[in-house]
Amino acid sequence: MSDALYTDDIDMSVLAGQKLALVGYGNHGRSHALCLRDSGMGPIRIALRDGSPSRKTAQDDGFEVVGLEEAAGWADLVAILAADEAHRQIWTEAIRPYRKPGQALLFCHGFSVHYGFVEAPEDGDVILAAAKGPGGAVRQEFEKGSGLIGFWAVHQDVSGQAAAIAQAYLAAIGSGNVGIFETTFREETVSDLFGEQVILVGGMVALARASFDRLVAAGVSPRMAYIDCVHEIKYLADLVQDRGIAGMFKAISDTAEFGAREVEADIAGPGLMQAFDQAMARIEDGSFARKWVETYEAGNAMVTDREQDEVLPVEAAGRDLRARLKGAKK
């Protein structure tokens, strides 16, 4: 495992004067663009499809907005920061046919390159600059004088400076304030997908919903069940982030710790390990990635799922609680 790099360790001049086109202006695109500009990088142009709802936001932020094809012919480095599932269409239809020779490609996740949705051109660098956390948090932490932990990787180094460019890019969006580490496209992709599927999103949601339902079935009010199974997740997550799992145990009541240790082996039993193995298999063999991109390209992905979420009893309990808490966001 490599040691952390910080801004003082990094040659920022490799990005100086480079024409940067950022594709997408959602959470990642907007955060990266604002941080890069504040760090003195650029010139920067925001590349958006015709009719993009993000166009006005980017223009109001003071950026020049251009079409994807124009950006592809102008930039020295194109950072594809749109949603992973859109990369294949963006690359094949709007970037690859018009790209400037020798142009570098940068991604904030390894997904599209690792699974082959974007086939690397032979004449340009292909690099990863991943700030680990939600896109919006990149800007939030930067404005505090901090950043998100960054990971860089090189898929293809034509210029001989691919690693230096990735490191400088991460430093420019704030990661150099907290630590930048080396990884690979595969490692970042597999870890990112597995973590969000089995614990950060999928696992947490499954446990929260199932535990809420079980308490309500036992005669507990939905409000109390929601507080104990959903609302308090944030406080425990904050403890884990600040102190680690062992530190979290020390911070909570002995009753809570003892009860958790009593049930942990039952929850993390053979069934859970089997579910983990199945999730990992789908990630490793690419079947999850193919299914997701094909679902996205077919249109209306997850519309029905999201509509069904809204009518679940756990959501009704949450809305009611938030409405009654003074100063809480609805």
Q: How confident is the model at residue 328 (pLDDT cuts 50, 70, 90)?
A: low
pLDDT at 165 (0 to 100): 98
- What mean pLDDT is reported for the chain? 96
pLDDT exceeds 60 at position 329:
no
Tell me if residue 87 is catalytic: no
Helix, strand, coil % in the chain, rounded to nearest 5: 60, 15, 30
Catalytic pick from 28, 32, 109, 114?
Answer: 109
The model's pLDDT over 157-185, given as tens digits with 9 standing for 90+, comes to 999 999 999 999 999 999 999 999 999 99
pLDDT at 236 (0 to 100): 97
**100 torsion bin: left (phi>0), alpha (psi -120 to 50), beta (else):** beta
Q: Which domains does the chain have, with CATH numbers?
A: 7-183 (3.40.50.720), 192-324 (no CATH)
Measured distance CA(95)–CA(122) in Å, rounded: 15
pLDDT at 2 (0 to 100): 73
- Provide the CA 83 distance to its chain's centre, in angstroms: 9
The model's pLDDT over 105-122, given as tens digits with 9 standing for 90+, comes to 999 999 999 999 999 889
| DSSP annotation of 34 | H
- 9 phi, psi to nearest 5 deg: -90, -10
pLDDT exceeds 90 at position 145:
yes
pLDDT exceeds 80 at position 136:
yes
CA dihedral sign of residues 100, 104, 109, 114:
positive
pLDDT exceeds 80 at position 315:
yes
pLDDT at 327 (0 to 100): 65
Measured distance CA(236)–CA(244) in Å, rounded: 10
pLDDT exceeds 80 at position 154:
yes
pLDDT at 301 (0 to 100): 85
- The token pair at 226 is 């929601």
β-strands 104-107, 150-156 pairing:
unpaired
